[in-house]
């Protein structure tokens, strides 16, 4: 963990030298969740989530009474403060390598934002190589981003409300062939703009593939306002961190989350 902190701090100093704003750095954990109220949606499917399934997949921010959700509320506040100051509404969540927990962080962060009184949230699974949001939430089969990209469904038909006020999810049901080419298409560019601009108070979170496995994330990053990088403690080498930060040099990096860390106290955050 000390090595990761050192690389982040070195990168932060280099960013200052480029005249770019400071970054936030946090650490988040995971576990349990549940219970939502009734909400009125038009074409959007409403799905009731299984609290035991959420617990097994470390989705903790669904239920506000879960004390573990505090970590994501702290992360939410830092991220929203930065985004609001810059007028940003789209956020990409990525990681250097697989296994860092980026999808779990993206889900919990989106749920925490949905609990925030002034915002709505949309969570989109843009990891077309290895989509995981639907599985993590336990969503039943239905229309998804695959159908939207194939022209067989509208965006509204593919969205799911997971029983949580002010949150909609755009799942991807299966891997997409030639994913990088699809993500660079005009269709996806138009879709991203539509998701960003339709509702002024909406924060759109895109779960992207890891930076170092392919060029998919690099294709999407120029089309979103900012990014959050999730680093799994003990899972990323110094060289991988440096290479990832190099890929993000032209991106508005709002922060780096140190995930899977051993906390010094119940809600420990490293800045």
Q: Residues 5-20: pLDDT tens digits?
A: 554 554 444 433 333 3
Contact between 91 and 65 under an 8 Å Cβ cutoff? The reply is no
50-67 mean pLDDT: 91
Give strand pairing partners of 87.
Answer: none
144-153 mean pLDDT: 96
Q: Where are the beta strands (DSSP E) in the chain?
A: 24-26, 45-46, 90-94, 120-125, 160-161, 167-170, 202-207, 226-232, 253-259
Rounded to 5 degrees, what angle do the CA atoms 28, 159, 52 make?
50
**Per-residue pLDDT at 209 exceeds 70:** yes
212-236 mean pLDDT: 94
Q: 148 or 17: whose pLDDT is higher?
A: 148
In Å, what is the CA distance from 12 to each residue of 21, 59, 254, 270?
Answer: 9, 30, 11, 14
Distance between CA atoms of residues 147 and 113, nearest Å: 27
pLDDT band at 261 (very low <50, low <70, confident <90, very high): low
Distance between CA atoms of residues 108 and 29, nearest Å: 10
* Nearest Cα residue to 228 out of 64, 85, 104, 61: 104
Q: Please, what is the average pLDDT of the chain?
A: 84
pLDDT band at 130 (very low <50, low <70, confident <90, very high): very high
pLDDT of residue 68: 86
What is the number of alpha carbons within 13 Å of residue 199 lying toward its C-beta?
A: 13
* Nearest Cα residue to 108 out of 50, 155, 66: 66
Q: For residue 266, give both structure tokens.
A: 């119940």
Task: Say which CATH topology domain 7-15+23-259 has.
Answer: Rossmann fold (3.40.50)
Q: What percent of the chain has pLDDT over 90?
A: 70
pLDDT of residue 128: 98
DSSP 161-213: E-SSTTEEEE---S--TTHHHHHTSHHHHHHHHHHHHS-TTEEEEEEPPPTTT
* Nearest Cα residue to 62 out of 118, 3, 104: 104
Q: What percent of the chain has pLDDT over 70?
A: 80
Give the Cβ contact number of residue 94 at 10 Å.
Answer: 29
pLDDT of residue 6: 52
Q: Which residues contact 191 (CB under 8 A, 6 or more apart)?
A: 148, 155
Q: 31 or 193: whose pLDDT is higher?
A: 193
* Nearest Cα residue to 33 out of 17, 14, 49, 13: 49
Contact between 92 and 50 under an 8 Å Cβ cutoff? The reply is no
SS3 assignment, position 8:
helix
Distance between CA atoms of residues 167 and 133, nearest Å: 14
pTM of this prediction exceeds 0.85: no
């Amino acid at each position: 963990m000390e090595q990761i902190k050192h690389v982040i701090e070195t990168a932060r100093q280099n960013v200052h030298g480029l005249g770019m704003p400071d970054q936030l750095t946090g650490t988040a954990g995971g576990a349990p969740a549940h219970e939502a109220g009734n909400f009125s949606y038009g074409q959007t499917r409403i799905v009731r989530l299984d609290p035991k399934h959420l617990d097994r997949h470390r989705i903790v921010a669904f239920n506000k009474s879960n004390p573990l959700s505090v970590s994501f509320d702290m992360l939410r506040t830092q991220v929203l403060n930065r985004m609001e100051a810059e007028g940003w509404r789209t956020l990409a969540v990525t990681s250097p390598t697989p296994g860092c927990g980026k999808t779990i962080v993206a889900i919990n962060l989106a749920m925490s934002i949905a609990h925030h009184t002034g915002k709505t949230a949309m969570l989109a699974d843009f990891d077309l190589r290895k989509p995981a949001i639907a599985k993590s939430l336990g969503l039943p089969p239905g229309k998804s981003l695959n159908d939207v990209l194939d022209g067989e469904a509208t965006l509204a038909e593919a969205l799911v409300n997971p029983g949580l006020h002010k949150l909609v999810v755009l799942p991807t049901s299966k891997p997409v062939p030639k994913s990088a080419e699809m993500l660079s298409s005009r269709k996806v560019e138009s879709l991203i703009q539509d998701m960003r601009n339709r509702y002024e108070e909406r924060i759109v979170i895109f779960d992207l593939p890891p930076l170092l496995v392919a060029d998919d994330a690099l294709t999407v990053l120029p089309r979103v306002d900012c990014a959050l990088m999730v680093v799994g403690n003990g899972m990323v080498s110094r060289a991988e961190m440096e290479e990832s930060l190099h890929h993000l040099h032209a991106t508005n990096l709002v922060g780096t989350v140190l995930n899977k860390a051993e906390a010094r106290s119940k809600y420990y955050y490293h800045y």
